[in-house]
């Protein structure tokens, strides 16, 4: 193998590990949205819309659609953790998408016809934090693999 060819390990860099962890968290949240006990009033879980009375952890309004969005973000994060560049894009673009969902939520809360995901005020705050947090992780977490005994600095190929 030449010096210019480099094989990337799955989740081998800090940004890949971060995308994988974020993906796993979304997976857990997406699954939890269907579990009675973790989701209060799970028997009132609707496919979509503001009429869904189910609340994850008794706080965050969820629906089948809302849970599937979390599961889609999970699959994306887990899959894109295979490459450093893709992992970084997942975090930044995913964070931007959550900021769009936050803006949507500001408009949709209180408007049952528009609130099809559904979201509530607690969701809005979470989406704001997720959006900012994912973007910051994507921008500041390193793409270079860590090499032991190298004072924590990244290896140069």
Domain borders along the chain are 14-140
pLDDT at 19: 98
Does 1 score more than 50 pLDDT?
A: no
State the pLDDT confidence band at 148, using cuts at 50, 70 and 90: low
- pLDDT for position 4: 46
Residue 2: the pLDDT is 46
Q: Which of 107, 105, 96, 97 is nearest to 124 (CA)?
A: 105
Among 35, 30, 118, residue whose Cα is nearest residue 67: 30
Q: Is the pLDDT of residue 157 over 70?
A: no
**Which region among 37-46, 74-83, 123-132 has the lowest average model confidence (pLDDT)?**
37-46
pLDDT level of residue 45 (50, 70, 90 thresholds): very high
pLDDT-derived band at 8, boundaries 50, 70, 90:
confident
Residue with structure tokens 């579990």?
35
- pTM to 2 decimals? 0.85
Q: What angle do CA 34, 105, 45 make, to 5 degrees?
A: 20
> Residue range 138-150: average pLDDT?
76
Range of lowest pLDDT (12-26, 47-61, 111-125, 133-147): 133-147
Mean pLDDT of 96-101: 97
What does the alpha-carbon distance between residue 127 and residue 118 come to, in Å, rounded to a whole number? 13
Average pLDDT for 70-86: 97
């Amino acid at each position: 193998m030449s010096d210019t060819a480099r094989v990337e390990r799955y989740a081998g860099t800090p940004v890949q590990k971060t995308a994988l962890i974020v993906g796993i968290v979304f997976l857990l949240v997406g699954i939890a949205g269907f579990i009675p006990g973790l989701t209060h009033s799970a028997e009132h879980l609707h496919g979509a819309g503001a009429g869904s009375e189910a609340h994850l952890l008794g706080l965050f309004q969820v629906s089948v659609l809302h849970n599937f969005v979390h599961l889609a973000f999970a699959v994306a994060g887990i899959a894109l953790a295979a490459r450093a560049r893709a992992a970084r894009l997942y975090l930044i673009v995913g964070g931007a998408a959550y900021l769009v969902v936050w803006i949507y939520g500001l408009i949709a809360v209180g408007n049952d016809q528009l609130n099809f995901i559904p979201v509530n005020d607690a969701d809005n705050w979470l989406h704001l934090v997720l959006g900012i947090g994912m973007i910051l992780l994507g921008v500041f977490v390193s793409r270079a693999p860590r090499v032991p005994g190298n004072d924590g600095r990244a290896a140069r190929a």
